[in-house]
DNA sequence: TTGAAAGCGGTACCAA
DNA sequence: TTGGTACCGCTTTCAA
């Protein structure tokens, strides 16, 4: 008898076990594992396959990775994972990766932005084949990115503002023109008094949007008014947003439209003005940013600006995979458009 | 000169490189990597540390994993990743894992539930130290779980209904009593005509909630009426939910309260009844399920039932880590309570 | 058509 | 206090 048929209940079977049980060499087993079966005797192949089945053998990717120097794993660093927004991207990144037979190693930096260097280190130690760096557009130190050794895997930066360009592929959002589109939309509806609830100050997107707001005003010959701009910092408590909204409602002349820092802020603003006796959009228009699913569920449905996070995730994943595969030479700096999604909460000015 | 100081710009440094450059053996380098430095000459230590720094050396976890048979990685399988709900859990799982020096290998089964066996296989090949299986409560084949070899790492099932108990730790939600709490709440407010928009039929949670609904009726001596129960299948288009809501509004006697299959369904129901000229909650109360963040942003704010996904994720992560560490012997079957979160959308019956 | 053996980058035992 | 070396499980050349 060739094999003792001892399924080794406790330890997992190795390629050697299979070879032994099937009465062949490890090389031969390795060949069938890797599909090199053209020049193989039919019954050898069968015997090996059966043995694999019988021993419930699963090749160790760890061992394989050690020799091939590839882990078939992509590191994804995500900050602000609380926001469902970027998590949608994660979903699609994973799907694309999986179709290319890659897995996702997830790391978050929700707590301390300072950890970032350390997290990168760990990903390097685990020898991921590539890294997608998906983050809030917060201004932060990114020196550690520059310090990456040449042997480091390719990196794609999504929504990441860094002072140094040129080394990594990037995918960004056109926050400025997204806001400009909102301004055009509102002005077209006859609005002349447009307010803006501002996002967190430490984010690049907040400033880009404020620029879009100002440019929109300028383009339509409308004055910029300090008291039309209040904090809608969405990392704060929603009561702050409510306060800011109430403050806006009491400014004279009263704004006929409010643009929230994001959909949540806008939703609270809508609630607030409604409870103050104003009708949306007849008395006042409300516009959000991000275009999250719940915009459709509000009453009235919230007009918003779509942030193409899903597209960004897909693009990043594909960029990374292509770079890993060795295609592509030039560094790409993609800027994705943010398009307006008009719904019921924005209407003609009173 | 001991070292040639050639930082090998293209290939990553290995332990051998460090040993050579520092003029010591690999054993010694390994010792410093693993903190076994008590009995080490001060200057040897220093020399090695400097060399590590200079060569930008990072130990390969892959090689280490091969010998230690541990990857410091947890596999997390998530289905229905679109729902922000479970992603919140992911966030917390990752954090707990990271604090224990584990990483998360993410796999989703959004597309084909049949892939599940294959995904498990891949995680086994990558030799994760443990698996968290976080899924919708869909009824599906789970034989492959039973087929897992004894050498497979520990698994924790979250919100997963399986016929066979006993082998894996589990964390589930008490959907039934969550619904019962809603019923009590509404009856207490004077409601006698309570409708329910039902979730997808293939989910265990849908049936558990329906049971809770029926038990609630029975407990308060209210009759079960077929036409008070319509589809609110949240995997369908929201227009279906709207239709179902309108149908309910036209039933005689008209329900004074509607419980949605989840918050999204409830939000659409609320919109729908409001647009039909009914006031919430004066004319009709609306209750959701899941207690997502946007409940607070609706007008009126949506009463809902909290699904403790975050707690479930944390519990699952801790259970898994403890089992990996070898503590704990008995299999746990945790059932987490779903508590009612009353807000503005539920009020006294008209 | 199949096999022997070196080696991937570490760990850990045993010696020195 | 430090070093030699077998080995983890697989791939890959080269030879048979």
Checking if the pLDDT of A8 tops 50, the result is no
> pLDDT per residue over B17-47, tens digit each?
999 899 898 999 999 999 888 878 888 899 9
User: Is the distance from CB of B110 to CB of B54 less than 8 angstroms?
Assistant: no
Rounded mean pLDDT of B94-104? 92
Residue from the list B9, B66, B292 with its beta carbon closest to the beta carbon of A66: B66
Percent of chain B with pLDDT over 70: 92
Q: Is the peptide bond before B177 cis (omega within 30 degrees of 0)?
A: no
Residues 6+ apart with CB under 8 A from B96: B314, B317, B318, B321
> What is chain B's Cα-based Rg?
27
Window 194-233 of B: residues touching A by CB (8 A cutoff) are none
Are A212 and A176 a contacting pair, CB within 8 Å? yes
CA of B65 to C1' of D10 (A): 13
More confident residue, A340 or A150: A340
Phi, psi of A270, deg, nearest 5? -65, -50
- Determine the pLDDT at residue B2: 31
**pTM, two decimal places:** 0.90
Contact (Cβ atoms closer than 8 angstroms) between residue A154 and residue A320: yes
Is the predicted pLDDT of residue A197 greater than 70, yes or no? yes
Chain B residues 295-334 with a CB less than 8 Å from chain A: 296-299, 301
Average pLDDT over residues B184-195: 97
Q: Which two tokens stand for residue B288?
A: 């959701």
Confidence at residue B8, expressed as pLDDT on a 0 to 100 scale:
36
pLDDT classification of B113: cutoffs 50, 70, 90: low
Q: Which residue minimizes Cα–C1' distance to C3?
A: A25
Closest in B95, B103, B274 to A126, CB measured = B103
* Chain A residues 42-81 within an 8 A CB cutoff of chain B: 56, 58-63, 65-66, 71, 73, 76, 81
Residue B5 has pLDDT above 50, yes or no: no
pLDDT at B79: 78
Domains of chain A, CATH where assigned: 15-59 (1.10.260.40), 72-174+309-337 (3.40.50.2300), 175-307 (3.40.50.2300)
Per-residue model confidence as pLDDT tens digits over B276-326:
999 999 999 999 999 998 999 999 999 999 999 999 999 999 999 999 988
- What is the C-alpha to C-alpha distance for residues B86 and B205, in angstroms, rounded to an integer? 15
From residues 5-34 of B, list those within 7 angstroms of strand D by Cβ.
23-28, 31
| Residue whose pair of structure tokens reads 């009173």 in the numeric block | A350
Secondary structure class of A103 (helix, strand, coil): strand
Per-residue confidence (pLDDT) for residue A156, from 0 to 100: 93
Q: Is A70 left (phi over 0), alpha (psi -120 to 50) or beta?
A: beta
E strand or H helix at A77: strand A73-78
| Residue A64 beta carbon within 7 A of nucleic strand D | yes
pLDDT at B214: 97
Name every residue whose Cβ is closer than 8 Å to that of residue A171 and which is 6 or more positions away in sequence.
Answer: A156, A157, A158, A159, A312, A315, A316, A319, A334, A336
Tell me whether the omega of the peptide bond preceding residue B281 falls within 30 degrees of 0, making it cis.
yes
| A154-168 pLDDT, tens digit each | 999 998 876 665 688
Share of chain B above pLDDT 90, in %: 66
| Cβ neighbours for B151, distance < 8 A, ≥ 6 positions apart | A9, A10, A11, A12
Q: Are β-strands A304-306 and A339-341 bridged in parallel, bridged antiparallel, or unpaired?
A: antiparallel
Least confident interval from A13-27, A127-141, A211-225:
A127-141
Q: Per the structure block, which two tokens stand in for B256? A: 């004074």
B137 — pLDDT class (breaks 50, 70, 90): low
At A345 the pLDDT is: 98
pLDDT band at B259 (very low <50, low <70, confident <90, very high): very high
Work out the minimum CA distance from B195 to partner chain A, whole angstroms.
Answer: 20
State how far the Cα of A319 lies from the Cα of A338, in Å rounded to an integer: 20
Strand pairing class (A229-231; B169-173):
unpaired
Mean pLDDT of A59-84: 88
pLDDT score at B4: 32
Answer yes or no: is pLDDT of A27 > 50.
yes
Any idea what DSSP says for residue A13? Answer: P
Q: How many CA atoms lie within 13 A of A324 on its CB side?
A: 26
């Amino acid at each position: 008898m060739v094999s003792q048929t001892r399924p080794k209940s406790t330890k997992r079977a190795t390629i050697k076990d299979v070879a032994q049980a099937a009465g062949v060499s490890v090389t031969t087993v390795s060949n069938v594992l890797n599909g090199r079966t053209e020049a193989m005797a039919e019954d050898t192949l069968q015997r090996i396959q059966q043995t694999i089945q019988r021993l419930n053998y699963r090749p160790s990717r760890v061992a394989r990775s050690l020799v091939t120097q590839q882990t078939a794993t992509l590191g994804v660093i995500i900050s602000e994972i609380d926001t469902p927004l970027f998590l949608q991207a994660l979903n699609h990144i994973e799907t694309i990766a999986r179709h290319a037979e890659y897995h996702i190693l997830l790391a978050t930096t929700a707590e301390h932005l300072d950890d970032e260097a350390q997290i990168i280190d760990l990903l390097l130690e685990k020898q991921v084949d590539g890294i997608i760096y998906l983050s809030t557009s917060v201004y932060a130190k990114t020196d550690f990115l520059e310090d990456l050794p040449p042997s480091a895997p390719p990196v794609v930066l999504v929504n990441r503002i860094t002072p140094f360009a040129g080394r990594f592929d990037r995918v960004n959002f056109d926050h400025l023109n997204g806001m400009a589109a909102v301004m055009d939309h509102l002005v077209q509806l006859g609005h002349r008094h447009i307010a803006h609830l501002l996002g967190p100050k430490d984010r690049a997107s907040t400033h880009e949007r404020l620029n879009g707001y100002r440019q929109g005003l300028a383009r339509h010959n409308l004055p910029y008014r300090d008291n039309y701009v209040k904090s809608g910092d969405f990392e704060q408590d929603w009561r702050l947003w409510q306060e800011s909204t109430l403050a806006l409602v009491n400014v004279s002349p009263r704004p006929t439209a409010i643009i929230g820092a994001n959909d949540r802020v806008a939703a609270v603003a809508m609630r607030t003005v409604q409870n103050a006796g104003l009708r949306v959009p007849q008395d006042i228009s409300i516009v959000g940013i991000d275009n999250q699913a719940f915009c459709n569920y509000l009453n009235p449905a919230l007009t918003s600006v779509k942030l193409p996070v899903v597209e960004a995730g897909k693009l990043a994943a594909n960029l990374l995979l292509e770079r890993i595969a060795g295609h592509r030479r030039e560094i790409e700096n993609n800027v994705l458009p943010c398009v307006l999604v008009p719904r019921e909460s924005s209407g003609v000015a009173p």
